[in-house]
Amino acid sequence: MKLRYFHPHISALYKSLYFPPVVIFVAILVATFFSWQSARNSLHNDIADAEHTAANRTENAIKSDMVSYAEVLKGGVGLFRGSTEVTHNDWSAYLQAYDLAEDYGNVQAFGYAEAATQAALPDLTAYAHNQGITNFAVDVGNPPRPDYAPVLYVERIAAQAPATFGYDMYSNPIRRAAMDQARDTGAITITGRLEVQARDSLPPDGFTMFAPYYTPGMPLTSVTERQAALRGFVFAAFRTKVFFDPIAARITNKSSGFRITTTDQTADQPMYTSEAFNAIAKHKDTLKLTRQLHLYGKTWRIEYAFDRTGLVSQVQLRRPPSVLLGGIFIASLIATIVLLLLRSRSRELAAQKEHAVELAKDELLSLASHQLRTPATGVKQYVGMVLQGFAGEIDGEQRRLLEKAYASNDRQLQVINEILHLAKISSGRIVLARQLTNLNELVRDIVNEQENDITAAQHEVTVGLPKRPIVLNIDNHMLRMAIENLLSNAIKYTHPGGQIDVKLYKNWRNVFIRVSDNGIGIASGDQANLFKQFTRISNEMTQEVGGTGIGLYLAKSLVEQHGGTITVKSTPGKGSIFTIILPRESPEL
Ligand code: ADP
């Protein structure tokens, strides 16, 4: 039901001028939508690529830094394995071979912790004291622990790092976990986040890297064998801020930052948070990416925060909205152009159609009036002949009736002539036959010819003519029709006993033929329409006096053919003044 209801609207739209532009608009809009989607997708991909590239670079930097520290540890293990005894001096000498402060400045200290049972601690303490490490002392704890790994040697790289000779590395469970893992796997390990002493405005976050050192020559193929062979650990102690800050500065900039947590620890206690991370993470449209990094037995969660403007260029960011806006603009533009073209085309068609109708109408009018004129002229001739006595004497009553018939026939011929001329004018078939004409004579003639009508209406007519006749090169016949029309209108639209004035005069430029009356006048609102075809202004007299509404149109057209105009001034109830203005210099003279 609904469909049937809507159908007329749809078909009306389909036929309307708006249909093609709307289709084009929608089509471009659809295309725009898809381009916008693809621009958005590609921006999305670009951003994702940029995020991963930044993350890869960060993680590679972390790895490569870690690897270089691990190399130092491996070298340290090698030192112990290679000689029967490594003294504190040997350890220091080994480390000094590296340009530690310069190349490994992000570490706090490199050290060696010896695995020992409680029973072995006194010997170890004596051994340390013998080497001059007088502050070596192990806190056995209460109750004592099953085993110990006191720091025997330590080389501080950061000047402020505490020299913790004798500190039992096993005493901290986080360290212990990494050390056990190193011991059992034989690989280098890293602790999770260590809570170390906050100092020098450094946050209390640190971590330690351990490399296991086994007694040379003992088998190391299984966990138990490795546990049995363990001698100690070479280690590197780090402050996370000191370690990661340079990486953050090197890789990321103000528009990105990262935060690191080890996965086996709670996320609310990150090991490290770069300065930019906190600032960026606060923003609403921050992009976040979380990845995992497996490194030395630990899985680290790295959360990245990116400011999107730092990842891709402004141009890239602006592409999707500009595709959308541009598409809408182009769609509107093209649709408007198409609409305008269609409109002008349809106007052209309408004009062509109108013209064809006009032509057909003129044809018909001209044909019909020709056909009417011949018989009407015949009637005039025969009635005229009877009136002149060619058919014998006629009495007074017969003459009166015949004269009426003659007058009616005359009016009929006049109308037919008007219609014929109208048809000729609108089809452009009037060609003026100009000849030098004495206008004084012409005007007088016209007034004389209408004498009967003037007398019948009891009007008083005055004719004002210049002393020296005005002679113009005009089509006598055509101009006569125009003046006749003005005079006959003045007679028709003036109450009986009216005053009509016809005046011919000139100035240096123009000739004026003015017909004024004190008749019914024309309302100012109607004056604009007077000269249009078939316009009759309805007034108190249009009902009683005959007319076609052609006269003024014809008069104006004929005067215009002569290069002139007709003006009108009229006041309802007081009268009208029609003036024909003709140029004195006719173009053909
Ligand atoms: P019509 O055949 O009706 O006279 P015209 O084109 O000659 O046609 O005139 C158009 C209309 O203008 C007339 O119907 C009449 O109302 C008005 N009109 C023309 N001349 C006068 C006049 N002198 N006084 C008042 N009204 C006039």
pLDDT tens-digit series, residues 237-289: 999 998 999 888 887 666 789 999 987 776 678 899 998 898 888 887 788 99
Tell the residue nearest (CA) to atom 15 of ligand 1.
537
- The preferred substitution site among 530, 535, 557, 577 for testing ligand 1, maximizing ligand atoms within 8 Å of CB, is 530
Total Cβ atoms within 10 A of residue 586:
16
Whether the predicted pLDDT of 544 surpasses 90: no
Q: Are 316 and 21 in contact (CB under 8 A)?
A: no
**Angle 542-548-549 (CA atoms, 0-180°, nearest 5)?**
80
More confident residue, 365 or 496: 496
Note the pLDDT tens digit of each residue in 327-344.
999 999 999 999 999 999
Percent of the chain with pLDDT over 70: 94
Token pair listed for 494: 């003036």
Q: Report the nearest atom of ligand 1 relative to the CA of 485.
A: 7
Tell the residue nearest (CA) to atom 2 of ligand 1.
547
Tell the residue nearest (CA) to atom 25 of ligand 1.
521
The conformation of residue 199, written as its DSSP 8-state character, comes to B
Residue 290 pLDDT: 93
Note the pLDDT tens digit of each residue in 551-577.
898 899 999 989 999 999 999 999 999
Q: Are 582 and 564 in contact (CB under 8 A)?
A: yes
Helical (H) or strand (E) element with 576: strand 575-583
Q: Report the nearest atom of ligand 1 relative to the CA of 550.
A: 6
Q: Are 444 and 461 in contact (CB under 8 A)?
A: no
Ligand 1 centroid to 364 CA: how many Å?
25
For tokens 């193929």, the residue is: 221
Q: In 388-475, which ranges are continuous DSSP H helix?
A: 396-426, 439-449, 451-456
Residue 365 pLDDT: 76
For tokens 């028709």, the residue is: 492
Residue 520 pLDDT: 93
Ligand 1 centroid to 521 CA: how many Å?
9
What is d(CA 365, CA 357) in angstroms, rounded to the nearest whole number?
Answer: 12
Q: Are 202 and 223 in contact (CB under 8 A)?
A: no
Residues contacting 491, CB < 8 A, separation 6+: 450, 453, 454, 457, 459, 500, 517
What is d(CA 280, CA 275) in angstroms, rounded to the nearest whole number?
Answer: 9
- Bridge partners (DSSP) of residue 148 are 116
Q: Are 291 and 302 in contact (CB under 8 A)?
A: yes
Ligand 1 centroid to 84 CA: how many Å?
139
Tell the residue nearest (CA) to atom 11 of ligand 1.
536
Ligand 1 centroid to 411 CA: how many Å?
16
Q: Are 34 and 352 in contact (CB under 8 A)?
A: no
Ligand 1 centroid to 441 CA: how many Å?
25
Ligand 1 centroid to 380 CA: how many Å?
26
Q: Share the mean pLDDT of the chain.
A: 88
Confidence band, pLDDT 50/70/90 cuts, at residue 588: very low
**Angle 179-184-188 (CA atoms, 0-180°, nearest 5)?**
55
Tell the residue nearest (CA) to atom 17 of ligand 1.
537
Confidence band, pLDDT 50/70/90 cuts, at residue 15: low
Q: Report the nearest atom of ligand 1 relative to the CA of 538.
A: 16
Q: Does 583 sit behind a cis peptide bond, omega within 30 degrees of 0 on the bond before it?
A: no
Ligand 1 centroid to 435 CA: how many Å?
29
The DSSP line for 549-563 is S-HHHHHHHHHHHTT
Ligand 1 centroid to 536 CA: how many Å?
6
Output the ligand 1 site: residues, CB below 6 A: 485, 489-490, 493, 517, 519-522, 530, 535-537, 539, 542, 547-553, 576
Whether the predicted pLDDT of 211 surpasses 50: yes
Whether the predicted pLDDT of 141 surpasses 90: no
Note the pLDDT tens digit of each residue in 170-206.
999 999 999 999 999 999 999 999 988 777 778 889 9
Token pair listed for 113: 């912790």
- The preferred substitution site among 412, 487, 536 for testing ligand 1, maximizing ligand atoms within 8 Å of CB, is 536
Q: Report which residue type is found at 432.
A: L
Ligand 1 centroid to 480 CA: how many Å?
17
